[in-house]
Chains A and B, each alone.
Chain A
Amino acid sequence: MIRKIFVIFAIAGLIMMLLPLVVNFEYKDSLNELSSQYVRGSIDDLKSQNVVTSVIVSYRGLDTLGEVTVLFLATAGVGFLLKHKKNKNSLRKASELLQTSSSFLVALIILFGIYIFVHGHLTPGGGFQGGVIIASAFLLMILSDINLKFNHLILHLVESFSGAFYVVVGLIGLLLGIGFLNINIVPLGNFGQLFSAGAIPIVYSLIGLKVGAELTAILNTMGGEQ
């Protein structure tokens, strides 16, 4: 009973706290200084069509490195918690339809994921979305074949090498004297082409491989039987 009263008071307090934000909300009609700097800089300095991509990879690149590290820590935590499993599975097999179609679809889905993260600086999408699409292809494999065993060595190699190369790309910028994770280490190219925007496609491809490998590891630990 006392707990319910406390809960009601907490929610009422939260509503009282948030109400001024809604009432005093005012429409913006122009970008603020920082955002216009990012938009102009993305066009003039980085030659990247997608402004969100250039904010994530270049202007807030260190932040993204930290984010990928958090994802790695989460993968390690899930693997550590759900490690020891020795029960013989008595699950029923996947249907004929799923088994036949998955072997055909997996390659296409992986190709689509690679397309998404290679074109991250031109169209919506990028490393995180492409990595998730690649992980969903492996999810289809997990669902279709229950006794599937992933080669953990390849998964670990892809994950750690892409992470290491990401840091190496950052350190090359430091070595050339233009700053950590600067994308100017590669010629910038023309605005709007596939090979443009400096090192953004390289960095986003590495992020895509790393995210795909990590999420595949999470799905394999949580869904697969070992």
Chain B
Amino acid sequence: MTLTIIIILGVIMIAAAFGAIYFNKLLAAIVSAGVISLLASVIYLVLGSPDVAMTEATIGSGLTTIIFLFALNKVRKENKK
């Protein structure tokens, strides 16, 4: 069971990592990185460390993505000015 979950999520994570490398749009790359963190938190839960899973789900996939989006927003606003 553990093995199946890790293999399925791992394939999705590697695909998302290649997406983050090769997407031309920055927004898509940022969301791909967030997806990697979110799926990693599920793997932490399966591996028996729920503390790390909570931290990764809130910080890694929540706040980091938001901060990336804020920085992208600031850069675009500078561009418009």
Contact between chain A and chain B defined by CB under 8 Å: yes
Interface residues of A, Cβ cutoff 8 Å to B: 50, 52-53, 82, 87, 124-126, 128-129, 132-133, 135-136, 139, 215, 218-219, 222-223
Query: Of the candidates B54, B59, B67, which one forms a contact with A124 in the assembled complex, judged by CB atoms under 8 Å apart?
Result: B54
Size of chain B's interface in residues, with CB distance under 8 A? Answer: 18
Other-chain residue from A132, A139, A222, A223 in contact with B59 (beta carbon distance below 8 A): A132
A-B contact count (CB 8 A): 45
- Smallest Cβ-Cβ distance to A133: which chain B residue: B58
Give residues 27-81 of B contacting A (CB, 8 Å).
49-51, 53-55, 58-59, 62-63, 66-67, 70-71, 73-74, 77, 81
Q: Which residues of B contact A136 (CB under 8 A)?
A: 58, 62-63
Residue of A nearest to B81 (CB): A87
Cα distance, A87 to B71, chains bound together (Å): 16
Which positions in B face A, CB cutoff 8 Å? 49-51, 53-55, 58-59, 62-63, 66-67, 70-71, 73-74, 77, 81
**B55–A129 CB distance below 8 A:** yes
A128 with B59: in contact, given A50-B51, A87-B81, A222-B74 (CB under 8 Å)? yes
- Bound: A135/B77 CA distance, A: 24
Cβ–Cβ contact B67 & A222, under 8 A: yes
